[in-house]
């Protein structure tokens, strides 16, 4: 575990609300986390203080199980801040922040306005042909076999190849980038995380320096040439911007696809429904995003406030677990059931000012992946006797997915 040492809990936290929570960084399981662990994590008081939530030295965090409370926090920029919600700069003694993820209004608004055209429906639709070809090329490496490790051969490669293409980073270094991802997102020790941060920041600083001298048509060059509120980005802002896109491309889509396709491998009926009628994929994606929401982020209280009957004080962290919020029994009928035609609203991409900028790109990647996989290989299932380890936080995902087909 990343946080094996006890942490000091602030005096204002009611002792009866202090609990350990299963969906935290450094935790793994050999069972499907969405079968038992996630439903059990949804049970209990509306608010708890998860003593084991954050990396060592950063303390615990509040967790609110009701989606209504989560949305309130997402939208409340008076009492909550995004600044410093990731540990990456802190663990190496630096002060840069992810751009725009760790920014508050009005600075966050300036960056959203700058980047919005890059992620508009028109801009994302224009990427579909290229993204589809990336998916086809990935599938071609295993489609003529009768089995594969779907995580290793598809979900960890396809979305990363898409982002590397947008950032104009070398696809031939993909294996190295995957190793860095593991250090950042599944760190067993603080030293592992520090190593990962130093590797990524060292590399990105070199890339930024090279693009400053030789700009291209990629997202990093775009930031170098852009002005935000009449000013060029500083070196720290450029690093935070590049780091944000780099890590964003390495985890969320990969995790979602791993969880989706594990479900299809285990639920033959759901797989068959979408194979027989691909027009249902778009709506099905929303239910899959809800029921297998994998991501937890952090907000920090900046001004005392009360939510769900508990008082939060400045400095208190909040563990924003979309996994439990998306299975809130007050919001959804049969919250743990997969209903492909439910077409729910959900918080898998957060809500409010920080609603994920890349949501259209992610949905396109999900749809293309399902369409092309279902076309290329016949009905598949988990390989008999397969042992699958899954991370439990801050991103829930299988580390492998051995599947087989006739």
Residue at 4 is within a domain: no
CATH of the domain at 265: 1.10.630.10
Q: What is the DSSP letter of 144?
A: T
Q: Coil, strand or helix: which one is 317? A: strand
Burial class (CB in 10 A: 0-12, 13-18, 19+), 253: buried
Model confidence band, residue 6 (pLDDT cutoffs 50, 70, 90) = low
Segment 1-28 mean pLDDT: 81
Please tell me the number of Cα atoms within 13 Å of 336 on its side-chain side. 11
Burial class (CB in 10 A: 0-12, 13-18, 19+), 125: exposed
Provide the domain count of the chain.
1
pLDDT tens for 102-118 read 999 888 889 888 889 98
Residue at 10 is within a domain: no
User: What is each CA distance from 278 to 272, 274, 284, 371, in whole angstroms?
Assistant: 10, 5, 10, 7
**In degrees rounded to 5, what are phi and psi of residue 323?**
-60, -50
User: What is each CA distance from 151 to 248, 271, 401, in whole angstroms?
Assistant: 17, 18, 5
Residue at 1 is within a domain: no
Alpha-carbon span 348 to 293, nearest angstrom: 6
Cβ within 8 Å of residue 92, ≥6 positions away: 194, 197, 198, 201
Residue at 7 is within a domain: no
357 token code pair: 């900028």
Segment 390-399 mean pLDDT: 94
Where residue 123 falls (left for φ over 0; alpha for ψ -120 to 50; beta otherwise) is alpha
Residue at 8 is within a domain: no
Residue at 260 is within a domain: yes
Residue at 346 is within a domain: yes
Least confident among 15-29, 102-116, 213-227: 102-116
* 64 touches 308 (CB < 8 A): yes
pLDDT tens for 130-157 read 999 999 999 999 999 999 999 999 998 9
Alpha-carbon span 226 to 270, nearest angstrom: 45
Residue at 66 is within a domain: yes
Q: Which domain holds residue 277?
A: 15-405
């Amino acid at each position: 575990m990343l946080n094996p040492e006890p942490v000091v809990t602030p005096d204002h936290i009611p002792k009866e609300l202090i609990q350990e929570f299963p969906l935290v960084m450094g935790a793994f399981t050999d069972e499907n986390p969405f079968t038992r662990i996630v439903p059990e994590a949804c049970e209990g008081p509306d608010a708890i203080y998860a003593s084991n939530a954050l990396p060592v030295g950063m303390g615990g965090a509040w967790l609110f199980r009701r989606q209504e409370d989560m949305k309130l926090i997402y939208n409340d920029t008076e009492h909550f801040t995004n600044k410093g919600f990731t540990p990456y700069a802190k663990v190496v003694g630096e002060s840069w922040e992810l751009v725009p993820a760790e920014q508050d209004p009005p600075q966050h608004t300036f960056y959203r306005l700058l980047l919005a055209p890059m992620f508009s429906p028109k801009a994302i639709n224009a990427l579909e042909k290229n993204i589809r070809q990336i998916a086809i090329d990935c599938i071609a490496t295993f489609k003529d076999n009768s089995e594969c490790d779907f995580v290793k051969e598809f979900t960890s490669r396809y979305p990363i190849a898409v982002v590397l293409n947008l950032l104009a980073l070398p696809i031939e270094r993909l294996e190295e980038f995957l190793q860095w991802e593991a250090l950042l997102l599944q760190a067993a020790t603080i030293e592992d995380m520090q190593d990962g941060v130093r590797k990524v920041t060292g590399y990105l600083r070199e890339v930024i320096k090279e693009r400053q001298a030789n700009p291209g048509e990629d997202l990093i060059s775009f930031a170098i040439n852009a002005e935000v509120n009449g000013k060029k980005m500083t070196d720290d802002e450029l690093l935070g911007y590049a780091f944000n896109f780099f890590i964003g491309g390495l985890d969320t889509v990969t995790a979602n696809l791993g969880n989706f396709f594990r479900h299809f491998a285990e639920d033959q009926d759901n797989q068959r429904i979408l194979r027989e009628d691909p027009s249902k994929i778009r709506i099905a994606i929303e239910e899959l995003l809800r029921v297998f929401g994998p991501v937890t982020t952090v907000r920090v209280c900046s001004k005392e406030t009360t939510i769900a009957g508990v008082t939060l004080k400045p400095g208190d962290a909040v563990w924003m677990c979309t996994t439990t919020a998306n299975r809130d029994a007050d919001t959804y009928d049969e919250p743990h059931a997969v209903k492909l035609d439910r077409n729910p609203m959900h918080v898998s991409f957060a809500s409010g000012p920080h609603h994920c900028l890349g949501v259209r790109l992610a949905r396109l990647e999900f749809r293309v992946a399902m369409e092309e996989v279902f076309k290329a290989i016949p009905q598949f299932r988990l390989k008999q006797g397969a042992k699958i380890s899954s991370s439990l936080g801050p991103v829930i995902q299988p580390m492998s997915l051995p599947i087989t087909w006739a």
